[in-house]
Structure 1
Amino acid sequence: MRRKPVQSHAIASIGFDAATNQLEIEYIGGDVYVYFAVPASVHQTLMESDSVGRFVNEHIKPHYAWQDGE
């Protein structure tokens, strides 16, 4: 999955696979997590958010299953 760099103190890049609704987040420290069943609309809102890190903490982590991506 190709990730795009984002402006964030905590997150380096974000990728999204619309075919599987998987969201991939690379954190500044290098850890990568994959979140499952994320709607495309949530990904779009995340990418447009003023604070990517806050959006992930409030709207992604508490609501979607995840696993280490690498």
Structure 2
Amino acid sequence: MEREAFDSSVIASAGYDAAVQTLEVEFASGEIYRYRLVPRRVWRELRDADSAGAYFNAVVRDRYPEEWMPHGATPAS
């Protein structure tokens, strides 16, 4: 999944696949997670948020099924 860089101390980059409603987030730590069943609206709001980290914590974290992506893994969407 293609990600775009974020100007955030928490989120390094993120991308969204509308076909499968999946948000992929690379954190500043280097960890990558995929969040399933995420509406497109949430992706737009994350990109537009004044603080992407605060928005993520309030709206995404612990609210959507998540999958940790081991470094170097490239599973199918």
TM, length-normalised to structure 2: 0.87
Deviations 1:9-51 (A, max 9, x none): 0110001000000000001111000000000011101110000
What is the identity, as a one-letter code, of the residue corresponding to 1:7?
Answer: D
TM, length-normalised to structure 1: 0.96
RMSD: 0.7
Look up the SS of the partner of 1:57 in the other structure: helix
* Structure-2 residue corresponding to 1:33: 33
The count of corresponding residues between Structure 1 and Structure 2 is 70
What is the identity, as a one-letter code, of the residue corresponding to 1:46?
Answer: L
Unaligned 5+ segments in structure 1 are none
Q: Percent identity?
A: 36
Which ranges of 4 or more aligned residues in structure 1 deviate by more than 6 Å? none
